[in-house]
């Protein structure tokens, strides 16, 4: 007789808290893990939209910042998961927020990058 238990799917959800000043709070829940990020739109020099996610709280002396780029082709991230596996929770979260219309549209409160004429 098999003794394997049915595996419970990992619960995933996220919270997005818009704040004044162009910076918002993002909280990712994966299973029992909860991780908070400061998220701000930093613009993108190559088209699409660029976001910066700063992990909070940071370990002392270690600032962990990831960059998510969203284009028509999908979302990419420069964290180890995004770099080596092509997908990660950061890119997924940003994509989900955009699909839901939770993130303000591009340009609203975004820090525009200087564009060479
Ligand atoms: Zn990532």
Centre of ligand 1 to C-alpha 6, Å, is 29
Dmax (CA) for the chain in angstroms is 72
pLDDT at 112: 44
Q: How far apart (Å, rounded) are the C-alpha atoms in residues 91 and 67? A: 9
Distance 76 CA to ligand 1 centre (A): 7
In this prediction the pTM is: 0.78
List pLDDT tens digits, range 20-61.
777 899 999 988 889 999 999 998 888 899 999 999 977 787
Give pLDDT tens digits for 60-100: 878 899 999 999 888 999 999 999 999 899 999 999 999 98
Ligand 1 centroid to Cα of residue 82, in Å, is: 5
Helical (H) or strand (E) element with 83: helix 80-85
């Amino acid at each position: 007789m098999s003794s394997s238990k049915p595996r419970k799917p990992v619960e995933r959800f996220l919270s997005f808290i818009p704040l004044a000043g162009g910076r918002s709070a993002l909280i990712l829940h994966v299973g029992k893990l909860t991780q908070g990020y400061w998220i701000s739109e930093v613009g993108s020099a190559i088209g699409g939209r660029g976001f910066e996610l700063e992990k909070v709280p940071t370990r002392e002396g270690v600032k962990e910042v990831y960059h998510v780029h969203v284009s028509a082709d999908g979302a990419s991230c420069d964290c180890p998961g995004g770099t080596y596996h092509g997908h990660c929770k950061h890119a997924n979260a940003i994509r989900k927020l955009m699909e839901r219309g939770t993130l303000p549209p591009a340009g609203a409160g975004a820090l525009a990058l200087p564009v060479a004429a």
